[in-house]
Structure 1
Amino acid sequence: MDNLPLFLLQTVLFPEGRLPLRIFETRYMDMAKACLRDNSPFGVCAIREGAEVGAPATPHDVGTLARIGDWEMPQLGLLQVIAHGERRFRILERRVEPSGLQRARVELLAPEADAPVPPSCVLCSRLLERVIDQQPDVLPGPHRLDSCAWVGARLAELLPLPLHAKQELLELADPVTRLERLNALLRSGARAES
């Protein structure tokens, strides 16, 4: 892809994830309108340096394609959307337009080869199942609690991890490795609380 608009944030979006966005900056409002009009994706990238508003920030190299699902404009100058994560990509080259919007030439990364949740990581599935039972609006279905990629991505989105840790998890190509790292974090946290 040669001309992907980038939305730089202090968060990480994983494939199959949902990300609510409140868009008010002109550069992103114009981008969202074009994406809605053309049914085209944009890239969500975590910020490596800089801030979400103002001068253009520097993104991490790996991000996630997103498409706008639901949207509404509750007031003039404010667009609320739900972005749906698709595939991961790597930035090869980027440029900043006069408006401050960044565009990039990206390579799409291979889809993750999914696997069942290994028995050693069943704690992760159980935790996610409890979250879904107690707060069903947090993760609307369909739920794939037997999928290593799905469980790992959803936990990485929900757990209060530092941005750099979430970015490292996004960059992992193997969903089993991602889930094993999350499982180790959960187990070490449980031991610390005991």
Structure 2
Amino acid sequence: MTDATLSRCKWCGTDPLYVEYHDTEWGVPEYDSRALWEKLVLDGMQAGLAWITILRKREGIRDAFANFDPDKVAAFDEADIERLLNDARIIRSRSKIIAAIESARLFVQMRDNGEDFSQYLWSFVGGKPIQNVLIEGEPYPTQSLESVAMSKALKKRGFKFVGPVIVYAFMQAVGMVNDHMITCFRHSEVSEADA
């Protein structure tokens, strides 16, 4: 149970699932390549939707996509696409499903060519989290020079649903950028955790 008296980023509201995500995951630096790939796919699936929708469907999406095992997802074929299109637990968008499968193939290709997905992505922020100082009431950033550069690089490799705004949300979520409000109890916790 989360403490309702703590000062948090306003975006998480009071939905227990959102609060738990904010308090335990969002902004925590993630360096595991598979976990980063999963999060990038999930952020792409969010395009045009609210993140809470993805959170509510996340376990179903994980199950439908072989627990985000890139080798298994890379082997998905047309029958798998049809299966996924009929799975109410996930986002049933043909273009997003195909993008997820293609991204698994790209992930595997990078890995097999000796490229570490985590090192590749973290290189856009110099290998360590950017510590922003956001003040309540000021506009939240929706993209950055780093997210624009990462977006262009991912698109060039063939990734889809990786525009600069989606990529920035990904960077916030995986701790490449600490965008917890300065008044949020997680801001200092997250910044100190990766010091």
TM bracket, shorter-chain basis: under 0.3
Tell me which of the two structures has the higher relative contact order, counting C-alpha pairs closer than 8 angstroms and 6 or more residues apart: 2
Q: TM-score, normalised by structure 1?
A: 0.27
Bigger helix fraction: 2
Would you tell me which structure has more strand in proportion to its own residues?
Answer: 1
The TM-score normalised by the length of structure 2 is 0.27
